[in-house]
Amino acid sequence: MAKKSFSCSACGASFTKWSGRCEGCGDWNTISQDKPLSAGPASKSIGSKRGNTIELTNLSTEEAPPPRTTCGLGELDRVLGGGLVPASAILVGGDPGIGKSTLLLQAAAQFANAGLKTIYVSGEEASAQVRMRAKRLGLSDAPVQLAAETNLRDILTTLEAEKPQLAIIDSIQTMWADNVESAPGSVSQVRSAAHELTTFAKRHGVSVILVGHVTKDGQIAGPRVVEHMVDTVLYFEGERGHQFRILRAVKNRFGPADEIGVFEMTGAGLAEVTNPSALFLSERGEPSPGSVVFAGIEGTRPVLVEMQALVAPSPHSQPRRTVVGWDGGRLAMILAVLEARCGIPFTGLDVYLNVAGGMKISEPAADLAVAAALLSAREDAALPADTVVFGEISLSGALRPAPQTENRLKEAQKLGFTAAIAPAGGKTGSGGGLKLSRPSDLTGFVGETFGAG
Ligand code: TYD
Ligand code: MG
């Protein structure tokens, strides 16, 4: 006898017995018994009916790498790992209004022009609205087939009849499966719609791209609940006020994760940015205290960004620590190391750190650039404008070389920098022709760069 299981249709929590109120989210009357996916009486366990034997193969099966279609939007192709793989399921997540529909309409047009039969299903906008957007983007002539629909059953039937090579579903939160008893946007709806669509993709050899809104208040289910079902997860990020948008691969079964594509939102849609470093540094003015250029690596390519710090006496008993584009915990660690190993306290001082251009950085190699920006702000002493900084700081105050040192230096040289501060060790190759300063610990770095700490 199979064990019964119950789950909450609002938050997705599962339970072994029914109750009126979900312990997970506190909602009433949302718990119901899970029905098995396969047809047949619920009480029968899978083992009681013989299935078919599945074919087993070994690991050395020789198969050609999947053929890929590139769309011509180079930044998108790059993030996909070199183009679109047939029968793959891709999730594109991002905040509402960030530009997902714009990106995917452009992608749909490009893929259609490249010869793929493409269907774009909008659950959020009427066809006329999408056509207006296409007109604005100059894509009216692309052979994309368009539908405005939210009923999943109708969509699947249509896809089965039309047999497209690419289907774009905008967005998964508006899809409504009539066999699931909860509102569109709830966890169970989103999960089952995504499951239906991804299995459809595999079975019929259609690539599907699902759009998912990231939600802060939890009113609708976020893309996280479907991340594990798809082959590729891309997040479209950026600050609303900025024109830069970054498409980041956080999972990719067919290519490197962590790869980024950089776009600029213009009046005529998204334009690709092939040289992000130049763009990120373009707003940089005269050298000023607290501003340091970090030579980072995003995926396979080097990207230079400006780190900005502001340190000011705090009127509060608990000084503020505000971070945009970097990890707050990591900032606390660097402040602690500066105090413990170099005797430079930040008590009584408010600290603000910002990564310019709306970029988000997660590399530990940014530690040294952050420390440099903090010290520069605190001492009110600007670093030379032609210097890049990178390296990881350990709790002991020692500096660790960053991976791909040579690539970082080369990119810096390409953009006109003449000097670099990077930890000793690590392959520098020719060093990109830069004047190198190579401290081995934080105290040495502080002494060298800011005189006596
Ligand atoms: P949209 O693609 O609708 O966002 P999402 O699907 O992620 O919710 O993008 C909406 C924003 O993009 C909107 O604020 C206007 C802006 N935009 C431009 O700046 N230029 C354009 O060419 C287009 C189509 C949109
Ligand atoms: Mg949209």
pLDDT tens per residue across span 219-278: 667 778 899 999 999 999 887 778 889 999 999 998 888 888 999 999 889 999 888 888
Q: Amino acid identity of 215?
A: T
H or E stretch covering 160: helix 152-162
Name the one residue in this structure whose structure tokens are 């609303």. 240
d(CA 14, CA 23): 10
Of ligand 1's listed atoms, the one at least distance from the Cα of 133 is 24
For residues 223 and 91, the answer to whether their CB atoms sit within 8 Å is: yes
In sequence order, which ranges of 167-288 are alpha helices (DSSP H)?
A: 187-204, 276-281
**What tens digit of pLDDT does each residue of 356-389 get?**
888 889 899 999 999 999 999 999 999 998 999 9
pLDDT tens, position by position, 75-93: 999 999 999 999 999 999 9
Question: Which tokens belong to 248?
Answer: 């980041």
Read off the pLDDT of each residue in 410-430 and give the average, rounded to a whole number.
86
At residue 2 the predicted structure's pLDDT band, cuts being 50, 70 and 90, is low
Q: Which residue has the CA at smallest separation from atom 9 of ligand 1?
A: 99
Query: What is the rounded distance in angstroms from the CA atom of residue 238 to the CA atom of residue 234?
Result: 13
Average pLDDT over the chain, rounded to an integer: 89
Among 168, 243, 265, 270, the mutation site with the greatest number of ligand 1 atoms within 8 A of its Cβ is 265
**What residues does the ion ligand 2 have nearby, CB within 5 Å?**
101
> Per-residue pLDDT averaged across 46-66, rounded?
76
CATH number of the structural domain 279-448? 3.30.230.10
> At which residue do the structure tokens 């790059």 appear?
78
Q: Is the CB of 101 under 6 A from ligand 1?
A: yes
DSSP string, 183-199: -TTSHHHHHHHHHHHHH
Mean pLDDT of 342-354: 95
Closest-CA residue, ligand 1 atom 8, reads 97
Is residue 269 within 6 Å of ligand 1 at its C-beta?
yes
Assess whether pLDDT exceeds 60 at residue 156. yes
Would you say the CATH fold of 279-448 matches that of 74-274? no
Q: Is 360 in the pocket of ligand 1 (CB under 6 A)?
A: no
Count other C-beta atoms under 10 Å from residue 427's C-beta. 10
Mean pLDDT, residues 29-53 taken together: 66
The answer to whether the CB of 376 is under 6 A from ligand 1 is no
Q: Which option is the CATH number for 74-274: 3.40.50.300, 3.40.50.2020, 3.20.20.70, 1.10.3720.10?
A: 3.40.50.300
The answer to whether the beta carbons of residues 211 and 174 sit under 8 Å apart is no
Sign (positive/negative) of CA torsion 115, 116, 121, 122? negative
Q: What is the mean pLDDT of residues 423-441?
A: 82
Host H or E run for residue 303: strand 301-313
C-beta of 99 in contact with ligand 1 (< 6 A): yes
pLDDT, tens digit, 9 for 90 and up, residues 185-198: 888 899 999 999 99
Whether 168 lines ligand 1, by a CB cut-off of 6 Å, is no
Q: What is the pTM of this model?
A: 0.81
pLDDT higher than 90, residue 422:
yes
Which pLDDT score, from 0 to 100, does residue 42 have? 46
| Ligand 1 proximity of 321 Cβ (cutoff 6 Å) | no
**Does the Cβ of 161 fall within 6 Å of ligand 1?**
no
Q: What is the pLDDT of residue 43?
A: 47
Tell me the ligand closest to 94's alpha carbon. 1
Ligand nearest the Cα atom of residue 170: 2
Radius of gyration of the chain (CA): 26
Residue 157 CA to ligand 2 centre (angstroms): 24
Would you state the pLDDT for residue 301? Answer: 84
Enumerate long-range contacts of 184-187, CB under 8 Å, 24 or more apart.
Answer: 184/150, 185/219, 185/220, 185/221, 186/9, 186/10, 186/220, 186/221, 187/8, 187/9, 187/10, 187/11, 187/12, 187/221, 187/225
Query: E strands of 197-300, at which residues?
Result: 207-213, 232-237, 244-252, 260-266, 269-272, 291-298
Domain chopping of the chain, boundaries:
1-37, 74-274, 279-448
**Which of the listed residues 101, 102, 120 should we mutate to test ligand 1's pocket, taking the one with most ligand atoms within 8 A of CB?**
102
Strand-pair category, 291-298 with 387-389: parallel
> Is 98 near ligand 1, meaning CB less than 6 Å away?
yes
Verify whether ligand 1 is closer than 6 Å to residue 1 (CB atom).
no
Q: What's the pLDDT at 39?
A: 47
| pLDDT for res 37 | 55
**What is the 340 CA–ligand 1 centroid distance (Å)?**
47
